[in-house]
Amino acid sequence: MKICSAIKTLLLRLLCLAVVPLVAVAAQDGATPAAASKPKPEQIAALNQAKGLNGNWRTSFTFKGHKLESIFTFNVDNESTPPPEVRVRFTGSLRGTDAPPGRGVHFLDGEIIGNQFSFTSYEKAGKEWKTDQLVSVYVGSFDGDQIKMVYLNTEPRDPAGPNRVEPGQHRVPPAGGDFNMHVITGHRID
């Protein structure tokens, strides 16, 4: 019996040693541990603004004299980084206007600061990253129902030799080089 009560006392003391410093740190910030996990006003404002990107957007740009259209779907998360520079995460996809929802290229690394955002998409032919991969970086902003992006991509690259361009079966690097940049504009469709 004395051993059990001694173990209980020891466990209680260890628990106190772990919890008391947490309460002290939270008290220095003027908050309790429960309040410390609540979003700060800056995070709430950033999340509310970022929700403006949610949904489907029809976009277009001109490439070699042809108008190319796509539909982007953005899914803004309900989480953000702490201040001072609050970043809101998002995921999404892009597809051709004739492709059904759920098809196309998916991306997972989106970030929003204010009304500006960025993400990267990766496409590949086959199951392995070889010479037919295409990496595209998007940077843009949204304002109400309007969206503008700059789209940068690198043509087929081998990750084992990322500074070397190799033509694949599906893509041949353009004569002017291995880098493309386009301005994409669009509007909300839902």
Q: Which long-range contacts (CB under 8 A, 24 or more apart) does 16-20 make?
A: none
In degrees rounded to 5, what are phi and psi of residue 6? Answer: -65, -40
Strands of 25-177, DSSP E: 55-63, 66-80, 88-96, 105-113, 116-123, 134-143, 146-154, 157-158, 161-165
> At 18, is the pLDDT very low, low, confident or very high (cuts 50, 70, 90)?
very low
**pLDDT for position 118:** 95
59: pLDDT strictly greater than 60: yes
C-alpha angle 143-151-109 in degrees, rounded to nearest 5: 80
- Mean pLDDT rounded to a whole number for the chain: 74
Burial class (CB in 10 A: 0-12, 13-18, 19+), 147: buried
Report whether pLDDT(1) > 90: no
CATH architecture of 41-188: Beta Barrel (2.40)
Q: What mean pLDDT is predicted for residues 126-135? A: 55
Instruction: Say what the pLDDT of residue 67 is.
Output: 92
Distance separating alpha carbons of residues 160 and 176, to the nearest angstrom: 23
Confidence of residue 76 (pLDDT cuts 50, 70, 90): very high
135 Cβ neighbours under 8 A, 6+ residues apart:
120, 121, 122, 153, 154, 157
Distance CA 176, CA 190 (A): 38
Confidence grade of residue 49 (pLDDT, cut at 50, 70, 90): very high
pLDDT in tens, 131-183: 456 678 899 999 999 999 998 876 544 444 444 444 444 445 545 445 678 89
Q: What is the pLDDT of residue 65?
A: 86
- The confidence score (pLDDT) of residue 143 equals 96
How far is C-alpha 172 from the geometric centre of its chain's CA atoms? 29
- What is the reported pTM? 0.67
What pLDDT is attached to residue 29?
A: 47
Q: Of 18-32, 57-71, 78-92, 137-151, give the lowest mean pLDDT range.
A: 18-32
- Which run of H or of E encompasses 25? helix 2-28
